Amino acid sequence: MKIAVLSGGVGGARFLRGLLHHLDQTRPAGTTEVTVIANTGDDITLFGLRVCPDVDTILYTLGAGVEERAGWGRAQESFRLQAELTEYGLQPQWFRLGDLDLATHIARSQWLGQGLTLSAVTARLAARWGLPERGVTLLPMTDVPVETHVVVDDGERRAIHFQEWWVRHHASLPAEQFVVVGLDRATAAPGVLDAIRGADVVLLPPSNPVVSIGIILGVPGVRDALRGTPARVVGVSPIIGGAPVRGYADACLAALGVPATAEAVAGLYTDFLHTWLVDPTDADAAVPGVRTVAHGEELLMRDVAASARIAGHALALAEVGG
């Protein structure tokens, strides 16, 4: 079976870890191929090094190297190098880069500098974290550098990098608009459209609908592939009872004038979404043309087991249909 998953960072990575756990427990090894299409819209160049936060979070989470509490970054991390960069007066300090994590960015930057595509680089990184052995192919949504900027106005109207808005300001500056620099000239990375078109199942984890899934959907061809795929597309709501499960999805949705409800988020996907898995509290969500199904427990990925049950439920809805 071929499963394609569109993924942002922490939420997507935890969902994927749950999915792999579910597959390990329910399917013979080697019978399932999971292709992950990762958001690269929040990529950023810091200290001359290319950082792909969502890709890295997926690598570390699936490779058992993630800092579990934060959900991103490396476990047993130290921050000696960045403290030295600060001594040299280098900014920013608000984006924390650990000593172990920096190795990923140095490796990536060196390989990109040698002319490898981001896809090729990501494959090399994924090999170290054991993804191929687990039947997982990790693809960046595009090989073209794409960076999300946020138009904010706190007296002075200006565009700042998404990471500055998200990490430094905790999405507290009202976002007027998201401008995805480079997205108009981006093309889907090799394998991305084929993975969607050739999938048996397409899953949307509870990733941010605006700055994760929304950005992937903006890559030319992706939305058409989702509309055209014979696979069932099943999504997991990132909103429970009117509030995001984590992160600042509400602040992102506000910029689009979309309410932070499970219903409204599904409304962004109606042209390709078949089934929408929601929290029991959102069981009455009604989305035209989309089947809404309530999960049997809170829709929270509290641990790997809970994530596996959510992923397993989504997968069952996509396979069995109804």
Binding site for a copy of itself (CB under 8 A): 47-49, 78, 80-82, 84-85, 87-90, 99-100, 102-104, 106-107, 109-110, 113, 124-125, 128
Minimum gap (Å) between residue 90 Cβ and a copy of itself: 6
Give 83 or 305: the residue with its C-beta nearer to a copy of itself: 83
Give 99 or 176: the residue with its C-beta nearer to a copy of itself: 99
Give 107 or 306: the residue with its C-beta nearer to a copy of itself: 107
Give 47 or 95: the residue with its C-beta nearer to a copy of itself: 47
Q: Where are the alpha helices (DSSP H) in the chain?
A: 10-26, 53-62, 80-87, 99-113, 118-128, 162-163, 192-197, 213-218, 222-228, 249-256, 262-267, 304-320
Minimum gap (Å) between residue 74 Cβ and a copy of itself: 9
Minimum gap (Å) between residue 106 Cβ and a copy of itself: 5
Cα 147 to Cα 140, 190, 198, 319, distances in angstroms: 13, 19, 28, 35
Tokens 């709501």 -> residue: 237
* Contact assessment for residue 16 and residue 253, using Cβ atoms and an 8 Å cutoff: no
Query: 148 in helix, strand or coil?
Result: strand
Minimum gap (Å) between residue 124 Cβ and a copy of itself: 7
Which amino acid makes up residue 73? Answer: G
Give 125 or 278: the residue with its C-beta nearer to a copy of itself: 125
With the CA atoms of 161, 225, 35 and 208 taken in that order, what torsion angle do they form, in degrees rounded to the nearest 10? 40
Give 129 or 276: the residue with its C-beta nearer to a copy of itself: 129
Contacts of 111 (CB under 8 A, 6+ apart): 120, 121, 124
Minimum gap (Å) between residue 168 Cβ and a copy of itself: 20
Q: What is the DSSP letter of 275?
A: E
Contacts of 85 (CB under 8 A, 6+ apart): 47
Minimum gap (Å) between residue 140 Cβ and a copy of itself: 17
Q: How far apart are CA 143 and CA 158, in angstroms?
A: 27
Give 109 or 281: the residue with its C-beta nearer to a copy of itself: 109
**Tokens found for residue 178:** 């998201």
Minimum gap (Å) between residue 118 Cβ and a copy of itself: 15
Cα 175 to Cα 64, 149, 204, 207, 234, distances in angstroms: 34, 10, 24, 19, 29
Minimum gap (Å) between residue 263 Cβ and a copy of itself: 44
* Contact assessment for residue 285 and residue 292, using Cβ atoms and an 8 Å cutoff: yes
Give 47 or 162: the residue with its C-beta nearer to a copy of itself: 47
Which amino acid makes up residue 248? Answer: Y
